[in-house]
Amino acid sequence: MKTRSTFLPLAFGAWLACAAALALPAQDAAPENNDAAAPAAPAAVESAVPAEPTAETGTTPASMAEPLPEKAPSAEPAPSSPAAPTAPEWIDRGEVVSIGGGAYLRENERASKVVAIGGSVEIRGRVDGEVVAIGGHVTLDGRAHEVVAIFGGVTLGPKASVSGELVSVGGRVENPHHVPVGNQVAVAPFLPRIGPMLQWGGDVVTHSRVLSPSLRWPWYLFGGGVLLSLFLAVVFGRGVNACARVLEERPGSTLTTAIVLLPAAPFLTLLLILTGVGVLLLPLLAMVLVGGMIFGKTAVLVFLGRSLVRPFGGELIRHAWLMVLIGAVVMAVLYCVPMLGLLVWTLATWIGLGMVVAAVLGNRRQERAATAAATGSPAAPVAVRAGTEDVTVAPVASAAVSREGAMPKTVSPAAVPESSAGAAAAPETAGAAVPPVMPAPEPVASRLVAAVPPVLVGATLPRAEFGVRLAALVIDLVLVAVASGVTVVLSVLPFPLVFGGYMFALWLWRGTTVGGIVFNLKVVRLDGRPIDAATAMVRTLVAFLSVCAVGLGFLWCLWDDERQTWHDKVAGTVVVRLPKAAPLV
């Protein structure tokens, strides 16, 4: 009985040890248990107690006799903690400057300074210095040291940060997210925004055009100008068509008038200012010039429309308003072309003013001619240049011819109306007054031709070649350069001014220069008249334009039929080669 009572505790302890040994591998295999190094406490205690042999077999259980195997380390890696965010890689753009356009920085871009003139600025990245917008809006959703907006507002986003000053002149500051700002200054936020005007000015400077497809308000002004031109074409249709015909019939004189007006307007303004009293007339002069330019711009539109419509039918050109619409379409397309629109606008303005002045002067000449014809005033003597001398030829007296076809009778011009009236009243008396036929006297023309040397008509002489004209120009350039170098007065003046004065003076005096004398060249007018001051001045000014166009004005004579350059065409002149016997000095 005593042996049985001792066996029962030993069997119960062995059962507990086996249960603990079987539970340890199951606990290691469970995925929820992450701590594999901690052993089970009850198993360690039971394994330390030595097992007693059983009574029936006299042996110890295997689970009690052998030590527990050591647990191998887990092969699975421990889960890593979340990595800290890395700093973005900045793209450095340095200083960003935009004229006539906007500026934009992305989130991964940085700059030392951002400046936009006539455009808006949007910052998503970082600016270490100032953000300046003149005439544009600033949208900041990044970091900036200082923000300055002149005639524009500022909008701050949720990520905006301004460590320095924020200045807005003529605009408002919008900060809906209440982001921190170092120092905020708003000056005159009630002023009107001129950002679009500055943006248009920047586009004019950078692209040299008047209209831009991206700006709408200049198109409104252009449309208003077209409506005004339509009104003038409807009300003053005859005058507008007359100005357009002046450019069609007399392009040379019209362009000459426009070129002369270019320096004449500021010169007249300066003269009125110097007189003191003439200052009161400056507003009137400004009104006249502006009115002439507006009317002339309408005439230019009509001229363009007439030039396009004339090949298809001549009836439509009488409607000035229709020609204005057609010319406005062409002008709008030209105004949008970069590097050409501003030049077209300038030329159209000044040529239009020249058309108006030329039409007014032509109308005055016609009125004087009509008045002279109505009063019966004698014709003026005609001056003919023969060689180097001027020969004045008196006008031929009018002749009264009888109805019977008798020999004409020479009478004075004042007596022509009275004799004509008398002949109409009494034809018998007029027939009786005719003297008998006399033998024809010796013609005076033969003696006049023998006494006067033959007249050389410049338009019929051979034209000078390009190579000869270039050689003469080189001689003139070298001569003026040497004279400017050795003369104190000429050395302080700009060389183009000295050379232009040299050409003007010699063309006006002899119609040629020193280089032209060497090669027997002479500048003559196509109408046969001598070179006057206006022709010499116009030819000199346009010659500089020929040089500014990369010499294209001079090269024009290579393919022109009359071998005329640009200044020859505008002034109505040609350069001819005189015979060897013709004196030039």
Three-class SS state of 89:
coil
Pick left, alpha or beta for residue 182 (phi over 0 → left; psi -120 to 50 → alpha; otherwise beta). alpha
User: Is 442 within a domain?
Assistant: no
All residues at 6 or more sequence positions from 442 whose CB lies less than 8 Å from its CB, including other chains:
none
Are residues 194 and 212 both part of a single domain? Answer: no
Domain shared by 185 and 239, yes or no: no
**Helices and strands, counts by H and E, the chain:** 20, 19
Q: At 389, list the tokens.
A: 């001398």
Domain extent at residue 464: 458-577
Of 210, 365, 229, the closest CA to residue 299 belongs to 229
Q: Of 165, 198, 231, which marks where a domain is finished?
A: 198
* Residue with tokens 């200045």, as numbered in its chain: 167
Domain tally, the chain: 4
Residue bearing tokens 């039918």: 313
For residue 355, give the nearest of 259, 491, 488 by alpha carbon: 259
Helix H or strand E encompassing 12? helix 2-29
Residue 218 lies in a domain: yes
Between CA 332 and CA 322 the distance in angstroms is 16
Give the DSSP per-residue string, 527-546: TSPPP-HHHHHHHHHHHHHH
**In the chain, which stretches have pLDDT less than 70?**
1-88, 100, 188-196, 198, 277, 313-314, 376-459, 488-490, 580-585
- 555 within a domain of the structure (yes/no): yes
Within this chain, do residues 278 and 143 fall inside the same structural domain, yes or no? no
φ and ψ at residue 291, rounded to 5 degrees? -65, -40
- Non-local (6+) Cβ contacts of 71 within 8 A are 28, 36, 37, 39
| Position 298 in a domain | yes
Residues composing the chain:
585
pLDDT for position 579 = 81
Separation CA 314–CA 305 (nearest Å): 12
Q: What global pTM score does this model have?
A: 0.45
What's the pLDDT at 424? Answer: 39
Q: Is the dihedral of CA 566, 571, 576, 581 positive or negative?
A: negative
- The confidence score (pLDDT) of residue 397 equals 40
Tell whether 7 and 99 lie within a shared domain: no
- Whose tokens are 């502006």? That residue is 290
Q: Where are the alpha helices (DSSP H) in 433-565?
A: 444-451, 466-486, 488-491, 495-509, 514-518, 533-548, 552-555
Per DSSP, what are the bridge partners of residue 150?
A: 134, 169
Residue with tokens 């005076």: 444
C-alpha dist (Å) from residue 2 to 7, 9, 59, 343: 9, 12, 20, 131
Q: Are residues 172 and 215 in the same domain?
A: no
**One domain, residues 221 and 185:** no
Tokens (6 digits) for 113: 């300074």
8 Å CB contact between 90 and 125: yes
Q: How far apart are CA 134 and CA 124, in angstroms?
A: 19
Q: Is residue 97 part of a domain?
A: yes
Is the separation of the CB atoms in 114 and 121 below 8 Å? yes
Same domain for 227 and 350? yes
Do 232 and 367 belong together in one domain? yes
| Rounded Cα gap, residues 567 and 558, in angstroms | 14
How many other β-carbons are positioned within 10 Å of the β-carbon of residue 467?
A: 9
340 lies in the same domain as 221? yes
CB-based contacts of 129: which residues, under 8 Å, 6+ apart? 111, 112, 113, 145, 146
Output the six-digit token pair for 106: 């992305």
Do the domain assignments include residue 70? no
Q: Are residues 223 and 326 in the same domain?
A: yes
242 and 185 part of one domain? no
Q: Amino acid identity of 171?
A: G
CA distance 70 to 316: 113
Query: If phi over 0 gives left and psi between -120 and 50 gives alpha, with beta otherwise, what is residue 216?
Result: alpha
**Residue 584 carries which side chain, given as an amino acid letter?**
L
Q: Which of 163, 198, 233 is the last residue of a domain?
A: 198
CA distances for 67 relative to 17, 24, 49, angstroms: 12, 13, 12
| Contact residues for 42 (Cβ-Cβ < 8 A; gap 6+) | 16, 20
DSSP-assigned letter for residue 105: E
Residue 383: inside a domain: no
Determine the Cα–Cα distance for residues 218 and 202; give it in Å rounded to an integer: 13
Q: Are residues 219 and 342 in the same domain?
A: yes
Asked if residue 279 belongs to a domain, the reply is yes
Give the position of tokens 């206006």. 534
Which pair of structure tokens corresponds to residue 577?
């080669």
Residues 469/573, Cβ–Cβ less than 8 Å:
no
Decide which of 371, 399, 419 is a domain's last residue. Answer: 371
